[in-house]
Chain A
């Protein structure tokens, strides 16, 4: 899990061009949107692309988005659960 969390942070930084942010600046439980990392709706779409591109996971139910993309930890949990399913 720790490796996945670090990998995800690096991928989020690269995919979203967060050039002044380092992986260690993003705690596992930091909210990704609003008061946390401050991501916006376009970033949300990029996170969906990230899941698809790196983990071959398609978010089929849009209602799951807010839960899945709440924090890096919730993203990692979602990836682990869906990769196990395969």
Chain B
């Protein structure tokens, strides 16, 4: 049986702005992406000292997940093993890989090394929320709504997940974008059907 899944929350972070369910919550004009992420962290009054140590890909994904889940997600409806995370991007962890490469000739930085994999951002989100379900990180040349929809649908149809955070988290140089969707079976007053059309609408 094919389930009717719903997008119960969406968070978009793109150049200088943060949106939750289509509503702009924060805007900050600064040419440096790191300053923007730090300003957003402070604006939303988050308190998670490990944030400062994360690389920019993790900061971006972690921040988006915090905003995505902060209003409507009822974690207690699920056991940790039923909540998963599926992410995509274009440049993997290349932004940090290059920074780490620059340290190799002198003393390789341990704190950079630990972020030289794209799926570390999933780990940061799962550690924060105690999610223990299926996770995966895929690299695509561009945003691929068809793949997201099909892959996440399969996880639900095979009874592997009951809730899933999915989407795109990309950070390269000063170019960044995160689009995270919360997928659940239950509808809510603001939810939208988990269709390719709606996924694309939230990305753009």
Contacts and interface: CB of A to CB of B under 8 A. Distances in A.
B109 A20 contact: no
B172 to A, nearest CB: 21
B52 A17 contact: yes
Contact of A17 (B53, B106, B110, B114): B53
14 contacts: A16-B53, A17-B111, A18-B52, A19-B52, A20-B49, A38-B49, A42-B53, A42-B110, A43-B111, A45-B110, A46-B110, A46-B111, A52-B107, A53-B107
B49 A49 contact: no
Contacts of B109: 46, 49
Contacts of B111: 16-17, 42-43, 45-46
> Which range contains the number of A residues in contact with the other chain?
10 to 19
A45 B111 CA distance: 8
Nearest to A48: B110
A64 B53 CA distance: 26
A78 B114 CA distance: 28
Interface in A9-46: 16-20, 38, 42-43, 45-46
Interface string B26-38: 0000000000001
Nearest to A41: B110
A29 B115 CA distance: 31
B110 A18 contact: no
* Shortest Cβ-Cβ A-B pairs, 9 listed: A45-B110, A17-B52, A19-B52, A17-B53, A49-B107, A46-B111, A42-B110, A42-B111, A42-B114
A85 B144 CA distance: 61
Of A16, A19, A52, A53, chain B has the most CB atoms within 10 Å of the CB of A19
Contacts of A53: 106-107
B32 to A, nearest CB: 15
